[in-house]
Structure 1
Amino acid sequence: MDISETAYFLEACKNHFYKKLKMGKDATVNTYACGVCHVSFSNQDTLKRHKCKEEKTHLCEMCGSVFSDITNFTAHMSTHTRDGTFRCEVCNCVFSEKSNLQKHVHRHVATKPYSCKVCESSYARMAHLKRHMQTHSKEKPFSCQVCGSAFYDKSGLRGHMRSHTGEKPFCCDVCNAAFSEKSNLNKHIRLHSGIKPYSCEVCGSAFSQKAHLEKHIRRHTGEKPFCCQVCGSAFADNSNLKIHMRTHTGEKPHSCDICELAFTSRSSLKCHIKTHAKEKPFTCDICNLAFAKRSYLKNHIRTHTGKETFPCDVCDSVLSTKKNLKRHLQTHNETCDMSCDMCGSEFSDRATFKAHMQIHIGDKPYSCEVCSLCFGSKANLKSHIRVHTCEKPFTCHLCGSAFSEKTNLKRHIRVHVAEKPHSCHFCEKAFSNKATLKMHLRTHTGEKPHSCDVCGLRFLMKSSLKYHMTKHGGEKPYACQICGLAFIVQSALKYHIQTHTGEKPYSCEVCGASFIKRSHLKRHTQVHTGIKKSYACEVCCTTYSSASYLKLHIRTHTGEKPYSCDICNLSFSVQSQVKSHMLTHTGQKPYSCQVCGSSFSSKSNLSRHMVTHTGEKRFSCNECGTAFLYRSTFQIHMRMHSGERPFSCDVCSSTFISKLYLQRHMRMHTGENAHPCQMCSASFLDKYALKLHLRSHTGEKPFSCGMCTSAFSTKSNFNRHMKMHTRLQHGKNLES
C-alpha cells in the first residue's frame, strides 16, 4: 500500500500537522495528526480546535484545572458558581450546558440507539459503545507507570493517577467533601438533594446511583454473576467477590492503628475502631440500648415491635432477618452439599462445614493471651476473654441483670415475658423455642437418633453422644488442681471445684437451702410447691415428677442394669453408681471429713459419715420411738411394723424386708461365698462379714470405750459393754 504524506503548519496554534492519505482500493479515510502529541483526528476542523497541554492558558483559580478553549473554561466555571440554566423536567437536575442536559435526558427516556454487535448491549452514546467494545477485545492501551494497572481509555487512567497523587479537584459546596472524579461528586450531591432517579420496577425502591439499582435487582432475580474460582461461591456484586478472595489469599489490607489487628474489608475495620472508642452511635428509642451498627439496632427493634417479616414457605415459621430465614431453610433442605471426608458428616452450609473441619485438623488459631487457651473461632475467643475481664455487655432493660453472652440475655428475657409459643401435644408442656420442643417430644416417642459407632448406645441429643464418645477415648483433659481428679468436660470440673470451696450459688427463697446446681434447686422447690407427679409406675403405682425418675424406678422392678464396670464387669442401674464404683478400683477418695480426716469415694458416703459426728437421728419411728441416722435404715425398720416384705426368693418363696437380706439369702442356695479371706481359707456371704473377720487377723478394735480402756472389734460388742456401764451407774444412783 502506497502512502503519501502532506505536511501542514497552522499559524493559529503554531502547531505542525501532517495529512496521511491512504492510497488503495478501500482507502477513503483521511486522518489528521498533531505534530506535537501525535493525536489523530478524522477532519481538519477538529484538528483546529485541538490544543496541546503547553497551549492551555485558561487556569481555574478555584480547583487548578487548565483549559485551552474559552468555551470549556466558561462551562467549567459554572460548576463552581452553580449558575446552571438548563433544568431537567423529570428530576429537576440543573446543567450548565445544553449538551449535558441532552445526555442526561437519555437516562429517563431510555433511548439507546447504539448497540453492540457482539452481545447486543445498547448505549445512549457512541463513546459508551466504543468503551464497551474494548471489553470484548480486552485491549487496555493506557497503563499506569506507577503500579502498572491498565485501562480502556485515557480518562480512566487520568482518574486512577489521582489515587497516587491524592488529588481531589471536585468539591461539594454543601459539606466541602472532595472527590477525585466528577461522577463521584455528582453521586454525592444526590445525598444532599435527596434525588433518586433510578427506581426498581418490582418493589418501587429508588436509588441515587444506577449501580445500586442493578445490585438491588439481583435480590429479586437471585442472580449471582461473580463466582469464586477457588471454592465456587457466587456473589451478587464484584466487590463482595474481591473481599471473599482475601479469605483464600489471607490478604488483610486494612489494619487498625491502635491494636494492629487486620481486616479484609474497610467496613470491618471501621466497625472494629468503634470498639476502641466505645462508640455506639445507634440508640434504641424504647430501651436506650446502644449499638455500633445500624443493622444491629434494626434487628434489636424487632424484639420490641415483634415485627417479623421473613416467613418460611415450608413450615410457616417467621424469622426476624433474611439471614436467619436463609439458615432456617437449610433445615428443610435434605440435600447436603458438603460432606466430611474423615467422618462422613454432611452439611448444608459452608460455615458449619468449616467449623466442623477444625475439630479434625485441630486448628485453633485464636489463643487467649491470659491463659493461652486456644479456640477455633474468633467469636469463641471473644466470649472466653469475658471470663477474665468479667465483662457483661448484654443488659436486661427490665430488671438490669447483665450477661456475658447475647444468647443468655435472650433466654433471660423470656422469663419476664413468659413467652412459650411451642407446646407439646402429649403433655401440654410449653417451650420458648421450637428446638427445645423437638427435643422434648423424643422423650414421648422414645426416638434416639444419635448412635455410638463403638458400642451402639443411642442418645436423644448430639451433645450427649459427643460426651459419651470421650469415654471410649479415655481422655480426661480437665483436672482438679486441688485433689487431682480429672473430668471429661469442663462443666463437671467447675461443679467439682465447688465441693472444695463450699460454694453453693443457688439458694431457695422459701427455706434458704443452698445448692451447687440450678437443677438441684429446681428439684428442691418441688418440695415446697407440691408439684404434680404425673408419671406413675404401673407395677407399684408410685408417682414421680419427671419421666427420668420413673425410668430409674422401673429398673428396680425389671432388674435392668445397663451400666457395667470395664474392670470387674459389675453392673449398675444408674450411671452415677458406676462412677462411684470405679473409685474402688483406683483407690481415689476425693471427699474427706474435716472432723476426723476420714476419706470417702463419694459425697453421699461423706454425708452419711458426718452424721456419726453430729449424732443427729432425724428419722424417728412413730410406732416405737426408735430413731435412725439414715432414711434407708428407717424405711427398712418401718417394714417390720407394717409386715411388708417386698423382696422374695424365687427358689423357696422366702420374703425379706430389704434387698440386702435377699442377696445374702440367695447365696445360701447357690453356695456362693463371694468374699474369701486372703489370710485364711474362710469365705463369707457378704462383704461386711468379711470385714469383721479380718479384724481377728489384724487385731483392729475401732470401737473404744470412753469410760474405761476397753476396745472392741464390733459395734454390737461395744454397745453391750456400754450397757454394763449404764447399769453400774444406775446402781450407784440407787445406793446414794
Structure 2
Amino acid sequence: MEEDNKNSFKVCRVCLGCYPSDDCLSLFHVENGRAISDLIISIAKVEIVKGDSLPDCICNECFHELEKAVKFKQKCEHSYFTLINDTFKNPLIPKVDIKEELSFDNNCEFDTSFHENSVETEFEIEDKNIKKSRANDLSLECHDCGELFKSKCKLRVHWKRAHQSSYLKCERCKRQFKSFKAYHLHKKISPASCTVAKFIRIEGEGKNRMFYCKDCDYKSIRVKDMMNHYLCHSGERPFTCSICLKTFTQHSSLSSHQENVHKLYKVEGTCHVCGKYLKGRNKFYKHLKGHSEKNQQCVICNKIFKTKKTLKVHMQRHADIKTLSCEICGSRYYTISDLCNHKRNVHFKDSKVYKCDLCEYVANKNETIKKHRAKHTGANIPCLVCGVFLENEETYLLHQKRHTDKQFQCTLCEKSFYRKRYLNDHMRKKHGHGESGPKALTKKIQVKKESSVIIQYEDINSLSPTVID
C-alpha cells in the first residue's frame, strides 16, 4: 500500500511541486502535433532527454502557462514577419477617395488648395486624438551647468554628484559635509575651527585640506594641531592647574604637571610583559611602547636604538642637520638636550637653581646635588661653594682660601687662581702657552679677604632637591 501511495504522486519538472499523477502530463506527450518537451525547449534554454533520471512530468498549471507563452511567441513572430514584408497597413492614415475627373488641358488652371487644406485638417485632427508620451517631450535643465535630463530622478542624482558638494562647504574652514543638516548645525555652532581659520592659511578643500601658520613655517592636516600651535604665538594659556593655579598652553602639559608635581596619577598599573609597576600616563605608555617596538639599528654605524624616534635623531648627526640654535650666541645643535646642556654650562653657569635639603649647598645640576647628598655624614663639613666635604674645621678654613685668596690672574681672560700651577695649567689648556711661559702673562694681585658668603634659602622639608624660583 505504501508503494502505491508513493507512486501516485509525481514531481513537476517546472515548478518542482508534488502533485497526484492524475493532475500531471508527461513531458513527451504529443499536443497539437508537437511534444510538450519541444515546446519548453523552444521558449527556454534547457535540455530535456528521455531517461535522464530527472522528473518527466508537468502539472496542469505549468502546462497552461506554457501554452500562453507559446502563443505569445507565435504572435510576436507573426507581427515581425508582417512588418518585414511591408504587408502592414497603418489604420491611422485615412483613406481619401479621389473621383476620376475629366482630362483638362495643360493651360487650364485648377484650384487644389481646398482639397489640400481639407486633408491637412484631417491629419491634424487625428494627431490631436493620439496621446503623446510625456517622458519624450519632458526636458529638465540643471541650473548650475545647463545639462538636460528627461526625469527628475536623473536630475536629482546629477545635482548631488556634481554640484551638491559646492553648496555644502563652509566658507571659513573649507570643510565639506554630506547633508544640509550637518552643514547648518556646523554654521549654528561655529566651532573653534572656524575661529582659528582667521589666523591661519588653508589650502585645499574637504579631506585634502592643509593648514599653514602665518607666523612660521608650521603646517598640519589637523585643525586641532593648528589650534594648539596658535597658542604659542597668541600667548594664551587657557589650561590652569586647580591646585597651584599655574597656567599652561596645552592640556597634555597640565596633565604632566599634575602627575610630576602634585602626584595626581590618572593612569597607573602593572606591565603585563615584565611585571613592573608604573605610575603616570607618559611613563606607562612609553614603557609599553618599548616592549612593542623592535630594536632599531643604524645602517651607517650599526649602533642599536630602542625606538625609531631616537634613531631618527641619531641620523641627523650623520646628515649634519642641526635644527636647534641658541638664541644667545647662535650656536646650533642636534637635539634639545644638547642645547639645554650648552645653556646651563655656558650661559647660565652661575645660576645655581638646585639646593641640597641637608645643607645650604646649591648647584646648577640635579645630578650634582644627588652625588653631594650621598656623601653627607654627621662629622664632615661641606663647602658651600664647590660642595667638597672636609673632615674638620681646620681643613675647611684652609679649603676656603681656594675660593677667596686667588692671587694669580690670567692676563688673557678674567679668571684668577689660588696657585700658580693652576694658572699654568689654565694657560696651557685654554690659551696654548706652556708652563714656562713669559712672566708678563702672570701678575700677582692682592685680593681682599672676604668672609664666608651667607645665602638665605627657604626651609624645605622634602628630601629631594628642589628648584629655587
TM-score w.r.t. length of structure 1:
0.27
Larger radius of gyration: 2
TM-score w.r.t. length of structure 2:
0.40
Greater RCO (Cα-Cα under 8 Å, separation 6 or more)? 2
